Structure 1
Amino acid sequence: MSLEAAAANPSDGTTASGSSFYAAMRILPRAQREAMFQIYSFCRQVDDIADSDGPRPERLAALQQWRDDIDALYQGHPPPRLADYVTSVRKFDLKREDFLAIVDGMEMDVPQDIRAPDIATLDLYCDRVASAVGRLSVRVFGLPEADGILLAHHLGRALQLTNILRDVDEDAGLGRLYLPREGLLLAGITGDDPVRVIADRALPKVCLPLAERAKLHFQKADEIMNRNKRRAVRAPRIMSKYYRAILDLLLARGFASPRTPVRVTKMARIAILLRYAFI
């Protein structure tokens, strides 16, 4: 599940109007807010294609149509569904390659479901479905180029790895397994059948190192945000704190079966919003 899909995942009490994404973006000035919701809408639409149960050739064709539409947008004749994006693309210098990278990431699940990718493939997936979203977002937020790209790299991976750990059971139900093959082999798990893997008693040995990697990315993201203007990092900091809270809940619960869903309470979400948006 992609970062943007997780931001609207009802199982976490985070529908479009109540998600951590929505709360973080609501504090932005109007032009930035509109641009971010356009990015969000784009991500949701391509993610819905990838996650649908339609025939794979039809899903591939629909994603290719999005690529064609993005090309048309940047060639100066946007299709109707992207007409409103023209102002944001120009105002914030949003890059065509980042929109295309998101489509490429969603497409990684379409020809066949991802199952135990090697670490390099997993990192590429995280870059496309999460960090590419971040690269678009930091331009809207107004971060300096170098720090913005670096923040997108680390925070995107932190959030996406947290999603993978949180949704391991849900993804297995869809026939997907995002845990890295190298980690499975180190834990003595040789198969890649999602249902069997998530029932294996060695699963915590796979998940804990991934959680540690996510923590390191959160720490690097914090370092970058700490050296930038508070106003420019308010929204990404709120997202970071929400997802770090999810990771902490996962670590406190553990990864042994049975795994109960984790949820950041409403009061905790309000506290994060108040602390990092207004105080």
Structure 2
Amino acid sequence: MSPDEYCQQKAAQSGSSFYYSFLFLPPERRRAITALYAFCREVDDTVDECSDESLARIKLAWWRTEIAAMYAGNPTHPVTKAMQPHLAAYDLKQEHMQAIIDGMEMDLNQTRYLDYAGLSKYCWHVASVVGILSASIFGVTRPETLAYAEKLGLAFQLTNIIRDVGEDARKGRIYLPVNELQQFNVTAADLLNARHTENFEKLMAFQAERAQRTYDEALALLPKEDRRAQRPGLIMSAIYRTVLEEVQRDGYHVLTQRISLTPIRKLWLAWKTWVRG
């Protein structure tokens, strides 16, 4: 199996919305974004699927070394071998790749965030940086496009947090800021025990409104010159906002279920967004 085939398999197996967003890209850009996505999956799985925290830290340290080796021209892993040819072509910066690993390490260091400022920092590492790297691959001619991608990544992560409240709580993680839980009189025990209350609904409506506002702010930053090139990000936005709207329509019943879209619906949204340009 070639490095590109390894990455393609990793992306296809995930069933992620990311996969649908780059189906329509030209081959070279598609290979680059698939390799980036496979890297994100590898380091994310290191934390999520490794029950031994010390082993997870050792693996993340290995990835740090491997990223440095990739930029030195000596990659050894299929993912870094697949990504290495694209680094210069799309100006993919090592500090951004390392920042993603920093974000994964944050999941090992803490399971609560006191306020939105702290949560935003986490989101920057695990999502906004990915947005910047992805936008660079799609094609950037204006600096505002990177600001758009950075904010769009934040919107995606806020959507993930809303959708996965129950699933994350079962893993012992609560990403909703502590001071906002207090503001709406919702306790960590409510989340851990899947207690859906009127206060919880109000808390989640507050979170959803902020996420929707963040999408609007991101899209307002995208210059028209780069809109066509950035269609994969717009596809992701269409899919993620639809998920968020489904969560809102369902009354925020996210403590006991994970709302998702069918593959055919994701493909329809992807195609519709692509042809709209």
Q: Partner letter of residue 38 of structure 1?
A: A
SS in 1 for 2:75: coil
* Correspondence for 1:40: 37
Indicate which of 122, 126, 135 corresponds to 1:125: 122
Q: Deviations over 1:135-161 (max 9, x none)?
A: 111110112352232112211111111
Q: Partner letter of residue 233 of structure 2?
A: P
CA distance in 1, matches of 2:226, 2:249: 33
- Which ranges of 4 or more aligned residues in structure 1 deviate by more than 4 Å? 190-194, 256-260
Q: How many angstroms does 1:191 deviate by?
A: 4.3
Q: How many angstroms does 1:181 deviate by?
A: 1.0
Q: Partner letter of residue 176 of structure 1?
A: R
* Correspondence for 2:240: 243
CA distance in 2, matches of 1:185, 1:37: 40
Indicate which of 145, 148, 151 corresponds to 1:154: 151
Alignment of 1:2-21 (within 5 A): 16=13, 18-21=15-18
Indicate which of 212, 215, 225 corresponds to 1:215: 212
CA contact (8 A) 1:115 1:192 kept: no
Q: How many angstroms does 1:222 deviate by?
A: 2.1
Indicate which of 169, 172, 180 corresponds to 2:169: 172
Cα distance change of structure 1 residues 266 and 36 upon mapping to structure 2, 3 Å threshold: closer
Q: Partner letter of residue 16 of structure 1?
A: Q
- TM-score, normalized by length of structure 1? 0.86
Indicate which of 249, 270, 275 corresponds to 1:273: 270
Q: Partner letter of residue 219 of structure 2?
A: D
Cα distance change of structure 1 residues 276 and 57 upon mapping to structure 2, 3 Å threshold: same
Alignment of 1:1-279 (within 5 A): 16=13, 18-81=15-78, 82-112=80-110, 114-191=111-188, 194-196=191-193, 198-199=194-195, 201=197, 202-225=199-222, 227-255=224-252, 260-279=257-276
CA distance in 2, matches of 1:131, 1:257: 24
- TM-score, normalized by length of structure 2? 0.87
Q: In terms of mean alpha carbon deviation, does 198-207 or 45-54 score higher?
A: 198-207
Cα distance change of structure 1 residues 44 and 117 upon mapping to structure 2, 3 Å threshold: farther
CA contact (8 A) 2:231 2:273 kept: yes
CA distance in 2, matches of 1:191, 1:85: 41
CA contact (8 A) 2:123 2:157 kept: yes
Cα distance change of structure 1 residues 193 and 257 upon mapping to structure 2, 3 Å threshold: closer
For structure 2, the residue ranges without an aligned partner over 5 or more in a row are 1-10
Cα distance change of structure 1 residues 275 and 90 upon mapping to structure 2, 3 Å threshold: same
Cα distance change of structure 1 residues 44 and 253 upon mapping to structure 2, 3 Å threshold: same
CA distance in 2, matches of 1:203, 1:209: 10
Cα distance change of structure 1 residues 60 and 260 upon mapping to structure 2, 3 Å threshold: closer
CA contact (8 A) 1:159 1:243 kept: yes
Q: Deviations over 1:221-259 (max 9, x none)?
A: 222346233421210110000000001111111125875
